[in-house]
Amino acid sequence: MPTDSRIFVTRKLPDNVEARLARDYDCNFNPEDKLYSSAELVDGAQGCDAILCCHTEQFNADVINQLPSTIKAIANFSVGVDHCDLSAAKGKGIIVTNTPDVLSDATAEIAILCMLGAARRAGEGLKMVSQNQWHDWNPTFMLGKQVTGKRFAVIGMGRVGQIAARRAKGFDMQVHYHNRRRLDADAENGAIYHDSVESLLAVADVLSLHCPATPESSGLLNAEKIALLPEGAIVVNTARGAVVDDDALISALKSEKVYAAGLDVFNGEPSHIHPEYRDLSNVFLLPHLGSATIETRDAMGYRALDNLDAIFSGGEPQDRVA
């Protein structure tokens, strides 16, 4: 559906996505993939009809209120929208969309990778081999924890949480979960529901975080909650850094109350994550790779464009969040 609508594209997107954008829209691209300041976001939106952005851009109330009146939509190349002030967008009459569903498998894969990497000391092993520090083998060398048959506890049994739970069952793990509401039997797929986070934590041999970042979930995994975990639990976070109290988790890792953590997301990422994470041997750290597959990033872009297509053809986008 070619149109003369102009789109401000805030980041360098996959080639296939930008090809479709260039075919169907007049675009203000970011070929150098510069991370724009608030002032540059406002400036780049001038003369445009919509913005296609990522979670790396902060569309707070101040930025949204300065956007030109021509902006009809902010299409997010992400599921999470915590970087976007939805109330401010609604107040200005701007439609906001996201890209659910298409990244669930890829993110669940990373959750399992983080679980295994933490449990089997993969970060230590990689460093040992790459730095030529591996010199021998013995029966007690680099012993980790086996996850087969353990209890896999999910906070946030949405799309990603459900798929991660199914993957965990491939290791004969017993799945437990807490969610804002209990799932129906088909969606539960045999998982055991807990009506409180506290009840769930008590059985969490592996705790996998999949809840969105909201004011209510900020710092959810704090010292009080960590104290409820079984001794030597493993913590996995592929949701958002904001749901973890870094000081509390680092303290628990140092004391080995938490055996290990597999983390793909952080407070202050990418350049201002808590420096003590880098000094710990019992962490497996990834640079926010949850959705980073070729197939998924293309699908995310297409989903964002499907939403824009619907808006500019006078329809309702399937993924409207504001």
Q: Which residues contact 111 (CB under 8 A, 6 or more apart)?
A: 160, 164, 167, 208, 210, 236, 238, 262, 264
| 234 DSSP β-pair partners | 206, 260
Is 120 catalytic? The answer is: no
CA proximity to 39, closest of 6, 77, 67: 67
> How far is 317 from 306, CA to CA, in rounded Å?
7
| Catalytic choice (18, 188, 269, 276) | 269
| Catalytic choice (55, 121, 240, 303) | 240
Is 274 catalytic? The answer is: no
What strand order describes the sheet that includes 174-178?
Answer: 192-193, 174-178, 151-155, 206-209, 233-237, 258-263, 283-285
Residue in the block written with tokens 């967008």: 89
Is 216 catalytic? The answer is: no
| Catalytic choice (120, 288, 297, 303) | 288
> How far is 288 from 268, CA to CA, in rounded Å?
12
CA proximity to 179, closest of 161, 203, 164: 161
Residues assigned a catalytic role:
240, 269, 288
